[in-house]
Amino acid sequence: MDHLKFLFPVSGVETYVFIPPLVALVVSFFTSMGGVSGAFLLLPFQMSFLNYTSPSVSATNFVFNIVAIPSGVYRYIKEGRMAWPLTWVVIAGTLPGVFIGYYLRILYLPDPKSFKFFVGCVLLYIGVRLFYETTGMAAKGKSRMKALDEKFRQRTEELKKQQHARIASGLPKEAVVRTVSFSLLRVEYEFWGESFSYSTPAMFFLAFIVGIIGGTYGIGGGAIIAPFCIAVFHLPVYTVAGAALMGTFLTSIAGVVLYSIMPAAPGLPTSPDWMLGLLFGAGGFAGMYLGARFQKFMPQKFIRLMLGTIILFLALKYILQFFIR
């Protein structure tokens, strides 16, 4: 087996060549079912198991997003579920945030111990958010979401009867996003007979903060912004996912460029390990596809509890290591 080990020259990581794509496949398979990106879990894996802790690990994580995400974006565009105004606001807010996040990473968080503490805080939020979504409190005030879920269930039953198939699911062709109005103050759109709206400045500000966090961490921010869009702005996940993925994809490209060309302290590696990132991305590409295919077989509450447990364990581990000498 030792002949399968490979030394990645940029990161200094030495591991079996099949480990990165395999880990990315498994992580993306489950996280995509929960509606979040696998990038936020791949970074802890690189730090804890591959001992890859320099700032270039954030850039390498961006490479994973660039390779893994396009298949999901294509699906949402093809199905007419890309909320373009939301996408543009998210991109406009996150791009400058990524620039600030880069400088926070190289100036204030180059030390692995401090960076792990930052990662632990981000993971703590995501883990608590996942657990919260399984509680009864999260279900309050979501009547329109429940209505869409009920329509989805009824549509599934209709397809089963019409096609006489053992398994059939999906949204009807008429369930597309239609923009009603788009201004600097407010955006309104319709989806499957329901109207939704949100404040443009508020969404931009959220995207800007998420961009800073994502640029520092090495994720596009979809795992953070999507729950906010659903819980705070009360937008349906059917229309949020595509915009979050597209925003993550484009800000990841910007992140790779920044980490590759912007100045840093002498001897501080910031450029991505392309070979390692591409291997992670290849596994993530397959994992996201399979996760989308098998999502209907897995109870959403089980998925969120499973992910939340793993994430909170990592979060507490990284936060506690900061205080233990």
89-134 confidence digits (pLDDT tens)? 999 999 999 999 999 999 999 999 999 999 999 889 888 887 887 7
Q: From CA 275, how far away is CA 21, in angstroms rounded?
A: 11
138-183 confidence digits (pLDDT tens)? 665 555 556 666 665 666 566 556 554 444 445 556 667 888 999 9
Q: What angle do CA 174, 176, 177 make, to 5 degrees?
A: 145
Q: From CA 305, how far away is CA 300, in angstroms rounded?
A: 9
3-state helix, strand, coil in the chain (%, to 5): 70, 5, 25
Q: What angle do CA 145, 151, 157 make, to 5 degrees?
A: 140
**Neighbouring-strand partners of residue 15:** 6
Of 58-67, 152-161, 311-320, minimum mean pLDDT range: 152-161
Q: What Å distances lie between residue 102 and 260, 263, 317, CA to CA?
A: 11, 10, 24
- Determine the 3-state secondary structure of 5 from DSSP: strand
**Is the full-model pTM beyond 0.85?**
no
249-297 confidence digits (pLDDT tens)? 888 999 999 999 988 788 888 999 999 999 999 999 898 888 767 765 6
> Residue 220: pLDDT band by 50, 70, 90 thresholds?
confident
Q: φ and ψ at 55, to 5 degrees? A: -55, -25
